[in-house]
Chains A and B, each alone.
Chain A
Amino acid sequence: MTSSAQDLSHWQQAFVAALAEPDTHLPGIESGHQQRLDVYRNNVWASLIAALEEAYPVTRQVLGERFFAALAHDHARQHLPDSPLMMDYGHGLADTLQVTLTTLAESGRATRDRLPFYAVDLAQLEVARREAYHAADARALVPTQLSQLAPEEVMALRFASHPAARLLHLEYCVLDIWQRHQQPQATLVGLDINQPQTLLVTRPAFDVQVLPLSVAGARLLEELIAGEALGDAAATLAEHYPEEDLGLLLAPLLSSGVFIALDSEH
């Protein structure tokens, strides 16, 4: 690097450092205009907070606007975007929230059961929905594809998962919480939130869908996603969950969009 290019690099380094330090003096800016760096400070942090608000609308609704804005600001300060794709930004917000709530609980400022730890799971659902929304296109399997096959051919099938599919094991019944918050004036009255939930997020065409799975259903799906033939997955299922019916567990999976069409290249 030439010395002038090095100067440029140092100056830009000093500029981004000044974004995080109000009232700092940045050499190279007219002295009367130093305060105007606030325009950039405001733009940068406000735009990152806005990006997180857009990504986590229900988490924000649950936490409240002020708490969420503070959380988003903390998160942005700790984790700047690593690419210009804001659709990927903030996937670790659930972790920041978990740490924040844990710190609050440990400081004694609020008891653990009064804090919305379920919002951590909610944030995971929202980020999975966003990933599914932007995931690569692929033709999803439709159950009628299987109807032309002989039973032994069906049991020999191996499935490939759709690029949009996400499986979430959560501690709270987040799908119910999310659905209730699709209405204004949402309330959790009458809902026992402390029920673990396994959710399958898919996007068979353009709309993101979320399906709750039973423990056995999730196990079946995991076997299939791991590449086991249907017959082998069925045997595993029978061994661990002898009371479960394969057909009843399989039908919603086959129509969920979690697998790509049988004749797709993969």
Chain B
Amino acid sequence: MRDQLQTAGRSTSGRVQPALPDMAAGISLKAQHVRELMSSRPALGFLEIHAENYMGAGGSPHARLDALQGYPLSIHGVGLSLASDRPLDRAHLARLKTLCERHTPASVSEHLAWAGHSGHFYNDLLPVPLTKAMLARVADNLAQLQDTLGRQVLIENPAHYLRFDAHELGAELIPETLFLNELIERSGCGLLVDVNNVFVSAHNIGIDPAAWLEAIPASAVGEIHLAGHIADERESLLIDNHGAPVSDDVWALYADFINRIGSRPTLIEWDTQVPALEVLLGQASRAEALMQESRVHTASHLKAESAR
């Protein structure tokens, strides 16, 4: 299964598979860095954009992507509301399809979240009670999404800030890792594992981050996100704000994860208080170094196994 993920091509389902190299380290593309990226052309595994920022008809945003097409592109949606209570918004789905046709991404991803309701959009990833009804809804939406785009889509685990009450909801709650496994099974989607979200959620709702990552099927992981977070003192919460360097705890969790499952395309996500390009490149280099080490680690591990 991993072999299929590593090379661009069609799976037996006829869907195009994500095609970023496993060792790729990438950064979020920010308008303020475009000039420097174009002149200095740093070695980068890929660039990631938020799909919705590039759904205008024309102008600079598209020209920017054309000028940087030497870098593989990851299109990361934030507005599709896969976990809404209803089928996908056809107009928005069509916009995403148009964007993918125009800029031919190596990878497409979305979130296990909802952001809209009754024709309104809230511009945030809202929390999802992981019930059976929700599983059916998200699986249907994912199937529709992947069929429309003709490609496998990676789905990202969100940051959690609160626990649901199953009794009050009147429905059994499914553990998130089980929910994701079921989604993979039902829809054939891949996973985008946000290690910062795992860490933040673990702190906020009391789960074991290492155990969470252990329960994720390695073969389904197509990308990893790393980002910074801040502490909210009042509620002793960690907030996934995408506005700080990746914390040491998250780097450690990431290193353990890739030592176990192998390298995966890894993004440094930084969306607020965006720093100088060199700061992002520095974070990406650190991810790359950890991927190199993990390869050595995995190779020597295999050697030791075979010597036995």
B51-82, CB < 8 A from A: 52-53, 55-63, 78-80
Q: Contact check: which of B60, B127, B163, B235 meets A133 at CB < 8 Å?
A: B60
Distance, CA A15 to CA B163, complexed state (A): 14
Distance, CA A84 to CA B115, complexed state (A): 8
Residues of A within 8 A of B119 (CB): 82
Are A84 and B59 in contact, with the CB atoms below 8 A?
no
CB distance from B122 to the nearest CB of A (A): 5
Q: Which of B130-138, B287-295, B297-305 contacts A (4 or more CB under 8 A)?
A: B130-138
Are A30 and B162 in contact, with the CB atoms below 8 A?
yes
Are B124 and A12 in contact, with the CB atoms below 8 A?
no
CB distance from B32 to the nearest CB of A (A): 12
Distance, CA A13 to CA B204, complexed state (A): 24
CB distance from B23 to the nearest CB of A (A): 32
Tell me, yes or no, whether A67 is within 8 Å of chain B by CB: no
B115-143 interface bits toward A, Cβ cutoff 8 Å, 1 = contact, 0 = none: 11111111110110101111011000000
Residues of A within 8 A of B136 (CB): 5
Distance, CA A58 to CA B164, complexed state (A): 43
Q: Contact check: which of A4, A13, A15, A40 meets B132 at CB < 8 Å?
A: A4
Are A12 and B117 in contact, with the CB atoms below 8 A?
yes
Q: Contact check: which of A12, A27, A39 meets B168 at CB < 8 Å?
A: A27
CB distance from B175 to the nearest CB of A (A): 16
Number of A-B contacts (CB under 8 A): 145
Q: Contact check: which of B56, B85, B118 meets A8 at CB < 8 Å?
A: B85
Tell me, yes or no, whether A48 is within 8 Å of chain B by CB: yes
Residues of B within 8 A of A183 (CB): none
Tell me, yes or no, whether A262 is within 8 Å of chain B by CB: no
Interface centre among A5, A12, A19 (most CB of B within 10 A): A12
Q: Contact check: which of A28, A86, A133 meets B59 at CB < 8 Å?
A: A133
Tell me, yes or no, whether B239 is within 8 Å of chain A by CB: yes
B: interface residue count bin: 35 or more
Tell me, yes or no, whether B169 is within 8 Å of chain A by CB: yes
Residues of A within 8 A of B116 (CB): 84
Are B132 and A86 in contact, with the CB atoms below 8 A?
no
Q: Which residue of B lies closest to A50 (CB)?
A: B272
Distance, CA A81 to CA B52, complexed state (A): 13
Are A7 and B58 in contact, with the CB atoms below 8 A?
no
Distance, CA A28 to CA B58, complexed state (A): 43
CB distance from B80 to the nearest CB of A (A): 8
Tell me, yes or no, whether B179 is within 8 Å of chain A by CB: no
Tell me, yes or no, whether A134 is within 8 Å of chain B by CB: yes
Distance, CA A9 to CA B168, complexed state (A): 15
- A/B interface sample: 13 pairs, CB < 8 A: A4-B132, A5-B133, A8-B131, A27-B169, A28-B164, A36-B204, A44-B124, A47-B124, A85-B79, A87-B56, A135-B56, A135-B59, A206-B59
Query: What 9 A-B pairs come out closest when comparing CB atoms?
Result: A84-B79, A134-B56, A137-B58, A4-B133, A136-B57, A33-B162, A9-B85, A80-B120, A81-B121
* Beyond known contacts A30-B163, A40-B126, A81-B121: 17 more, CB 8 A cutoff: A8-B134, A12-B114, A13-B117, A13-B118, A16-B117, A16-B120, A29-B165, A35-B235, A38-B235, A39-B232, A48-B123, A83-B91, A83-B92, A84-B123, A135-B57, A137-B58, A206-B59
